[in-house]
Amino acid sequence: MVAIMAKDPAVLFYTQDFITGTYLMTNEQRGKYIMLLCLQHQNDFLLEEDMLKICGSYDAVIWSKFEKENDKYINKRMKEEKEKRHKYCESRRQNRRGKNLKSFKTDNLNIKHMYQHMENENVNENENRNDNVIKSNNQENQPDFIDKIVNEFVDAYGDYQIVNRGKERAAAGKLLHIYKKQFPTASQDETLESLRIYFNSCIHIQDKWMRENMSLSLIINKFNEIKTILKNENGENTKPRGATIKQIAATVLRNFGNR
């Protein structure tokens, strides 16, 4: 039997298509069929012994879902979806590599600036909601700008999958509030550039668990802890001297240029 390899753990699964395609199957047949699909996803193909191992014996209904190529059995839809997923993830990884190479050219001063922006903020889920709302006449409070912050994190991460966009937007909004409370006159470009530096630091944090589970929500929930870890990693044992938003903007634009 083909050994299950540790590969991409996920693939897009279209529930309506599955229901339609298995409507005439029994529940037992559906269970065997989905197991075979999972096995193919992990191993690229199935052998006859794999089919028999799962089904117990030849089942024409289930067998009809797979095409035989030499001695291999393949479900074409699963093969196509896996290839699509691979191409998408690879494109995100390439995008991430390019951005990281560009971002790491900045010196530690840029990262320290970002820490200072948020230095005295205490992120607490129980704080008054009104304290998390920016005045409605502030252009950065518009939904499209919150989405830009979410997209900045996704681009920095590379192959990040958004499960709950509402939750991600809420976290991005709180992060924006922290920044704008320190620098209310910062422009959109200045804000995005500073957050981009901070996100790149977060996704490369040395703490293994945090690195593997990094998300906008985690940044908010573990804000002070992440800040302390990043400071220690960059040898920042004392509070840095202040810098004006113009100085920060100049440093960012000098290193990154306009997007």
Q: Give the model's pLDDT for residue 97.
A: 62
Q: Which residues make Cβ contacts (< 8 Å) with residue 145, sequence separation at least 6?
A: 139, 176, 188
**Bridge partners, residue 74, by sequence:** 67
Residue 74 has pLDDT above 60, yes or no: yes
Q: What are the Cα distances from residue 124, in Å, to 57, 114, 146, 169?
A: 58, 19, 20, 17
Split at pLDDT 50, 70, 90, the class of 61 is very high
Measured in degrees and rounded to the nearest 5, phi and psi for residue 46 equal -125, 150
d(Cα 90, Cα 87) in Å, to the nearest integer?
5
Q: For 108-155, write each residue's pLDDT tens digit.
A: 445 555 555 554 444 444 444 444 444 433 444 455 888 888 888 888
Q: Which residue has the tokens 């500073």?
A: 194
DSSP for residue 132: G
Q: What percent of the chain has pLDDT over 90?
A: 22
From CA 37, how far away is CA 144, in angstroms rounded? 39
What is the pLDDT at residue 134?
41
**Residue 230 pLDDT > 90, yes or no?**
no
In this predicted structure, the answer to whether residue 75 has a pLDDT above a threshold of 90 is yes
User: Would you call 110 helix, strand, or coil by DSSP?
Assistant: helix
Cα 41 from Cα 4, distance rounded (Å): 10
Q: What's the rounded Cα separation, in Å, for the pair 153 and 243?
A: 24
**Percent of the chain with pLDDT strictly greater than 70:** 68
- What span, in angstroms and rounded, lies between the C-alpha atoms of 182 and 166? 25
Its pTM surpasses 0.75: no
CB-CB contact of 114 with 201 (8 Å): yes
